[in-house]
Amino acid sequence: MRDQGIDRNDIAEADLRTRRGVFRAVAFRDPVDGHEHMALVRGDVRGREDVLVRTHSECMTGDIFAATRCECGDQLGAALDAVVREGAGVLVYLRGHEGRGIGLVAKVRTHILQDDQGLDTVDSATAIGLPVDVRDYGPAARVLRHLGVRSVRLMSNNPDKVSALEAYGVRVSSRVPLLVPVSADNVRYLTAKRDRLGHDLPQLDGPVRLGEAPVSEVRG
């Protein structure tokens, strides 16, 4: 699936100094979904193969407020740490992906059903008449093309994300596990992601340290 690129008037780049060091912040307005997204770039990635990449879905509760119900905030930090260790890579922060695309208000409503009725992350969405996952990775593909990335090693536990990016013409050479330890707060969520959504989460069968990948990269 090939589509239009990002207009030069809808993109801005500047250095961003963080506690992890300096990244190049590439803010862009996507021509299809209209959201303003951000790519954090470390090192020189233009024209490179096998660039370490994370496409991270916006999660206000996890990313900003460090909620422990999900592993989103921990994955965000672990992915940035991995890019810094690698010396080069890209983290694409995708807005409009809150609650796998259903939005913040709806996501919080699903939390009520999870807490009060014991529904999992899948059934709590369908119970209020919403789809389980409506995220689109076109914006990530478009900014990766803008950055000149030729192929990626994708940090994800979700095999479907590989095919979603490849549908937009991004070549995924391997999938890099990005595992978060299991806790009493997130075990139900992680189990549902494994059993209902097909995520590869071997830490449910044994302990891992944050960001550790006890399994090898899955080659495409």
Catalytic positions, please? 133, 135
- State both tokens at 215: 């399994």
Instruction: Find residue 81's DSSP bridge partners.
Output: none
Is 95 annotated in some ligand binding site? no
Instruction: Enter the tokens of residue 10.
Output: 């809808």
Please tell me whether 100 is known to bind a ligand.
yes
- 166 annotated to a ligand binding site: no
36 has binding-site annotation: no
CA 135/CA 72 separation, integer angstroms:
15
Question: Does 72 belong to an annotated binding site?
Answer: yes
Two tokens, residue 111: 């939390």
- Give the type of residue at 53: V
- The helix or strand, by DSSP H or E, that contains position 125, with its residue range, turns out to be helix 123-126
Cα first-last separation, the chain? 18
- Is residue 193 marked as binding? no
**Any binding-site annotation on 54?**
yes
Reference 27, options 37, 17, 18; nearest CA is 37
CA pair distance 30, 22, nearest whole angstrom: 24
* Residue 50 near residue 151 (C-beta atoms within 8 A): yes
Token output for 209 = 């340290």
d(CA 203, CA 8): 43
d(CA 59, CA 179): 17
Does 199 appear as a known binding residue?
Answer: no
Q: Where do we find the tokens 């990005």?
A: 178
71 is in an annotated binding site: no
The verdict on whether residue 146 carries a ligand-binding annotation is no
- Tell me if 99 is assigned to a ligand binding site: yes
151 is in an annotated binding site: no
Task: Enumerate the known binding-site residues for GTP.
Answer: 54-58, 75, 98-100, 121, 156, 161
Task: Enumerate the known binding-site residues.
Answer: 54-59, 70, 72, 75, 98-100, 121, 156, 161
Task: Enumerate the known binding-site residues for Zn(2+).
Answer: 59, 70, 72
